[in-house]
Structure 1
């Protein structure tokens, strides 16, 4: 089975939701257990990406985590949304 390119999957899922897709940036950090993908968008698009009560963000996380390999030594994927509050 071919490995999924997680960053391009995230980009293809998130881009149609945004008013300003040119502001989309995805960065990756790794630690011992997780591949962290941090999504940064224009400040006015944060609400569109999170959705009401976080439903859109939860759905994105479900799809991205489900696409990841199920190998025993595979790191888990974490999807984080930069909400510009910090």
Structure 2
């Protein structure tokens, strides 16, 4: 799956969860081992995205990180949610 496809996958999974979908911002950063996708949403939507005890965030990570190539030398995909507390 191409990198832009991963971003569109994230958007299609996250937008239905948000009350303010226009505030959604996805930033991609690459480093040595990972393709990092950082999700920023409105502060009042963070809880909806994380879910109780992190269950929604864990499910999103499972889906997104499962799309990565299985080649041994490929970069891993990471999904990070900016929770506006730090």
Shared fold (TM-score greater than 0.5)?
A: yes
Task: Give the total of aligned pairs.
Answer: 84
Q: Offset at 1:67? A: 1.3
Q: CA RMSD in A?
A: 0.8
1:72 is paired with a residue of what secondary structure?
A: coil
1:19 is paired with a residue of what secondary structure?
A: coil
Which segments of 5 or more consecutive residues in structure 1 lack a partner in the other structure? Answer: none
Q: Offset at 1:58? A: 0.1
- 1:82 corresponding residue in structure 2: 82
How far apart are the structure 1 equivalents of 2:21 and 2:61?
19
How far apart are the structure 2 equivalents of 1:81 and 1:26?
10
- 2:25 corresponding residue in structure 1: 25
1:15 is paired with a residue of what secondary structure?
A: helix
- 1:47 corresponding residue in structure 2: 47
Which segments of 5 or more consecutive residues in structure 2 lack a partner in the other structure? Answer: none
Q: Offset at 1:85? A: 1.2
Q: What TM-score, normalized by structure 2, do the two folds share?
A: 0.93
- 1:10 corresponding residue in structure 2: 10
Q: Offset at 1:29? A: 0.8
- 2:35 corresponding residue in structure 1: 35
